[in-house]
Amino acid sequence: MDHLASCLALSLAVVFASCMVAYSAERPAVIAHRGASGYLPEHTLAAKAMAYAMGADYLEQDVVLTRDDCPIVLHDVQLDTVTDVADRFPSRARDDGRFYAIDFTLEEIKRLRVSERMDLRSRAPVFPSRFPAGKSDFRIPTLEEEIELVQGLNTSTGQNVGIYPEIKSPAWHRRQGKDISSIVLEVLRRYGYQGRDCRCYLQCFDAAELKRLRFELKTQLKLVQLIGENAWKETATDYEAIRTADGLREVAKYAEAIGPSISHVAADTAEPPGYAITPLVRDAHAAGLAVHPYTFRADALPGYAASFEQLLRIFCDEVGVDGVFSDFPDRTASCFRAADKPRQETDASRPGSPRSP
């Protein structure tokens, strides 16, 4: 069972390879959010291979560090909502009761089994209709393992799928004595991801860290300013200020794209049709920024969308986004192919961009 997840991943790639369609730059980019996470446990190699085969343009990697400085692909700095860490290492929780990846070596991390995301208190699945908890054998991959999977499939299929890593909680890592950004950049460099033209976006919620990446660490990778909520209090970034026209012009000085929540783009309203398109995308495009909103989930639709496809069409046809983070890359790719809607270039190289050639 040790290699079941990897075998499943490769099998899925073979099964779906004949269905893969080379993506046109005229369609919004399909960014597989944590892989094909609507079907398989998030951030497993199986979920990434399935997303690749379903026609995703980019596969997302959330990156945190282990105690021995290995970058692993995991959404949170804690392990306890997607693994059996509490059963295997019950004495290793911190004072807050949580189990942190940074307190474990890679060898210890590899002993953990990954499952569908669970509620921290009830242990019930967050998405009950998704892959059954406790079934099969999935493990946490390293960033290197995932890159090698993507690049290997690019070689064997002739596709050119990109990667979309996120540097998670850089200020928190720094307080633990670790420089996650430098470590991630070195891994990306070793695998050939260095310039604007490579198939890689590097994302982060922390504006100060993105500026450090650009101006201190001198990366030429395409950077994405993720936009959250000030109430989260996870960074010192003022997301409300960023969403203004002036704020977006400032972002364009260090980044090529923004990643807002879908609620920042289409706000719920009491009046028909149930949503109002905000100025965010218009203002971002005016600043030369591409827009990749998150997260499109067929099993968690906003109230104004009667179907997943309707939601996608709103963002593709009415809003004109440049890409979307989706848990269901197959349905997203199919919808965008059917729409065949011209879009702005996802690399933000449109005329007028402050970072255009």
Tokens of 229: 């909520």
Question: pLDDT tens across 90-105, in order?
Answer: 999 999 999 999 999 9
Question: pLDDT tens across 209-218, in order?
Answer: 999 999 999 9
Question: pLDDT tens across 171-201, in order?
Answer: 999 999 999 999 999 999 999 999 999 999 9
Distance of CA 279 to the CA centre of its chain: 24
pTM recorded for the entire structure: 0.90
Q: What is the 3-state secondary structure (H, E, C) of 155-218?
A: HHHCCCCEEEEEECCHHHHHHCCCCHHHHHHHHHHHCCCCCCCCCEEEEECCHHHHHHHHHHCC
- What CA–CA distance (Å, rounded) separates 227 from 344? 20
Domain at 4-75+140-339, CATH homologous superfamily? Phosphatidylinositol (PI) phosphodiesterase (3.20.20.190)
DSSP string, 222-252: EEEEE---GGG-SSS--HHHHTSHHHHHHHT
Q: Is the pLDDT of residue 119 over 60?
A: yes
Phi, psi of 346 (to 5 degrees): -75, -15
pLDDT of residue 291: 99
H/E element holding 137?
none
Predicted confidence band at 340 (pLDDT cuts at 50, 70, 90)?
A: low
Tokens of 235: 């960074």
Tell me if 303 sits within 8 A of 265, measured CB to CB: no
pLDDT of residue 39: 99
Phi, psi of 14 (to 5 degrees): -70, -45
Percent of the chain topping pLDDT 90: 85
Q: Is the pLDDT of residue 143 over 80?
A: yes
pLDDT of residue 339: 76
Distance of CA 332 to the CA centre of its chain: 15
Q: Is the pLDDT of residue 24 over 50?
A: no
Query: How far lies 137's CA from each of 78, 84, 219, in Å?
Result: 20, 12, 37
Burial class (CB in 10 A: 0-12, 13-18, 19+), 53: buried
Residue 285 bears catalytic tag: no
Query: What's the mean per-residue pLDDT of the chain?
Result: 91
Residue 264 bears catalytic tag: no
Question: pLDDT tens across 234-280, in order?
Answer: 899 999 999 999 999 999 999 999 999 999 999 999 999 999 999 99
- What CA–CA distance (Å, rounded) separates 111 from 1? 13
Q: Is the pLDDT of residue 161 over 60?
A: yes
Please identify which of the residues 75, 173, 264, 285 carries the catalytic annotation.
Answer: 75
Please identify which of the residues 33, 264, 285, 292 carries the catalytic annotation.
Answer: 33
Predicted confidence band at 71 (pLDDT cuts at 50, 70, 90)?
A: very high
82 vs 22, residue with greater confidence: 82
Mean pLDDT of 106-127: 96
Q: Is the pLDDT of residue 23 over 70?
A: no
Mean pLDDT of 50-62: 99
